[in-house]
Amino acid sequence: MDSLEKIVSLAKRRGFVYPGSEIYGGLKGTWDYGPLGTELKFNLKQEWWKYMVSRRENIFGLNASVLMNPKVWEASGHTEAFTDPLVECKVCHERFRADNESDIKEHESRHKGKKVQWTEPKKFNLLVEAKLGAVEGEKSTVYLRGEITQGVHVNFKNVLDSMHPKIPFGIAQIGKAFRNEITPGNFIFRSREFEQMELQYYIKPDEKEARKVFEYWKKERMNWYVGLGMNKKRLRFRQHEPDERAHYAKDAWDIEYETPFGWKECEGIHHRGDWDLSRHSEYSGMDLSYFDEESKERFIPWVIETSAGVERPLLCFLLDAYSEEDNRVVLKLHPRLAPYKVAVFPLLANKPELVKLAQSVHGELKEEFTVAWDARGNIGKRYYAQDEIGTPYCITVDFDSLEDKAVTVRDRDTMKQKRVKIGELAEYLKNYLGMTYN
Ligand code: GAP
């Protein structure tokens, strides 16, 4: 098994990620997040929000609808240009992304020795259509948003008028996006429904300023991954070739992660120029310019965007955290990402006095942390199970605890154990979990 297969299996077995609609045979490119996956996703989004929004004065949050007036997508260029080139195998009519050489080669090998003929590449639009309306026949076609970005740009004027921000400022959003991907795959890496975490940062229309701001956000975004414990050696920047860039981008850089299936885009940073606001001004007839009080100039701002998925970085964090040591599997997730921060065990499940004290420790800690409870099997097995889901600390209540009002705290990574007074536990854990941003 390679490490991706191991992660897929662990994710299913331990309640991180399940195939979507599994009992009905599934739905390609969709995934459901189990109890632990939901916590992990939540933590990841919260870390992003804290880092990108809460700590800063000039970034505002937004939460726009998934469904939008279809004119939005005409204006943004997506109905025309949000396409992937696809080729079709003339033998079995399966379709592939024309730029995905490894999938194409793999497919040819399945036709063992037969000469496979491919059609010329055709453009395939990635927007997912939906029908909206109550009466059959009168329903109108809308699109599930292909990027969460447009919800921000169409609200640019609303944010200006309600918050009166001074340029430069940003609008941040987290939410679902949908793409009719031709070949979803590599587990949750490429799916048809996923979440994005984006910042649209509005600046003066000036190339020198744009370069400076672009470099700033590139660094910030890389620091976010490294700050959450991702191995620097597995991360790199890659600039897009001009013919690779999306229709809205003047410049585009990816933060790539070295996965078992190669170096892959984890997140993109884009110089969108005035593409979005100009087009929405033109198509809506609304004036989306900004008046700069200082210079007394009116202009259409430019946009530098940072755009990450949620599930794709989540997969990279899982791959990065996975390690096998002697007799155990450990997910060395950063404590701020770990689904459970701590687990509490009574040494023996059939000793009511131990269970009672352990339950009261569990109850107190639950006020401040996500806490697991386990009273099954022996202690070694419980440690193993918590290591495998990345719980940074395990607390055991034993017979001595009844006397000295202290418990054993065991560290996931070093496996070292320490005795800590019950009354000092919460403080102790907070210090060691690095729960606050410096
Ligand atoms: N607003 C710009 C934009 O959407 P993108 O490069 O198309 O840019 C940004 O997407 C990020 O969204 C990607 O780096 C990836 O993390 C995530 N993403 C895109 N398509 C995805 C898919 N099919 N499945 C999972 N994540 C995806």
Nearest-CA neighbor of 172 among 225, 217, 216? 217
Pocket test for ligand 1, best of 224, 307, 311 (most atoms within 8 A of CB): 307
Distance 119 CA to ligand 1 centre (A): 27
Q: Please determine, for residue 436, whether its predicted confidence score (pLDDT) is greater than 70.
A: no
Cis peptide before 168 (omega within 30 of 0): yes
Q: How confident is the model at residue 242 (pLDDT cuts 50, 70, 90)?
A: very high
Nearest CA to ligand 1 atom 24: 190
Q: Please determine, for residue 423, whether its predicted confidence score (pLDDT) is greater than 60.
A: yes
Stretch 239-249: mean pLDDT, rounded?
94
Q: Please determine, for residue 377, whether its predicted confidence score (pLDDT) is greater than 70.
A: yes
Stretch 251-276: mean pLDDT, rounded?
98
Work out the burial of residue 133: count CB atoms within 10 Å of its CB; fewer than 13 is exposed, 13-18 middle, 19 or more buried.
Answer: exposed
Instruction: Name the residue with higher pLDDT: 93 or 210.
Output: 210
pLDDT digits (tens, 9 = 90+) for 394-403: 999 999 999 9
Nearest-CA neighbor of 147 among 170, 179, 192, 182? 179
Pocket of ligand 1 (CB under 6 A): 147, 149, 179, 181, 190-191, 194, 196, 198, 265-268, 305, 307-309, 311-312
pLDDT digits (tens, 9 = 90+) for 159-174: 999 999 999 999 999 9
Which DSSP symbol is given to 23?
Answer: G
What token pair was written down for 313?
């970085």
Spatial CB neighbours of 137, under 8 Å, sequence gap ≥ 6: none
Q: Please determine, for residue 303, whether its predicted confidence score (pLDDT) is greater than 80.
A: yes
Distance 430 CA to ligand 1 centre (A): 34
Q: Please determine, for residue 256, whether its predicted confidence score (pLDDT) is greater than 60.
A: yes
Distance 176 CA to ligand 1 centre (A): 11
Q: How confident is the model at residue 435 (pLDDT cuts 50, 70, 90)?
A: low
Pocket test for ligand 1, best of 187, 196, 200, 305 (most atoms within 8 A of CB): 196
Q: Please determine, for residue 56, whether its predicted confidence score (pLDDT) is greater than 90.
A: yes
pLDDT digits (tens, 9 = 90+) for 115-161: 889 999 999 999 999 999 888 888 899 999 999 999 999 999 999 99
Q: Please determine, for residue 438, whether its predicted confidence score (pLDDT) is greater than 60.
A: no
pLDDT digits (tens, 9 = 90+) for 315-365: 999 999 999 998 999 999 999 999 999 999 999 999 999 999 999 999 999
pLDDT digits (tens, 9 = 90+) for 401-412: 999 999 999 999
Question: What confidence score (pLDDT) does residue 136 get?
Answer: 82
Give, in degrees to the nearest 5, the angle at Cα 423 between 421 and 424.
Answer: 70
Distance CA 196, CA 44 (A): 11
Q: Which atom of ligand 1 has the smallest separation from the CA of 307?
A: 9
Which DSSP symbol is given to 20?
Answer: T
Q: If DSSP codes are grouped into helix, strand and coil, which group holds residue 297?
A: strand
pLDDT digits (tens, 9 = 90+) for 172-209: 999 999 999 998 999 999 999 999 999 999 999 999 99
Distance 189 CA to ligand 1 centre (A): 10
Distance 333 CA to ligand 1 centre (A): 23
Distance 191 CA to ligand 1 centre (A): 10
Q: Which atom of ligand 1 has the smallest separation from the CA of 189?
A: 25
Q: Which residues of 66-87 are buried (b: 16+ CB within 10 A; e: fewer)?
A: eebebebbebbebbeebebebb
Question: What confidence score (pLDDT) does residue 310 get?
Answer: 98
Q: How many residues can be counted in the chain?
A: 438
Stretch 52-79: mean pLDDT, rounded?
97
Number of H helices, E strands in the chain: 14, 23
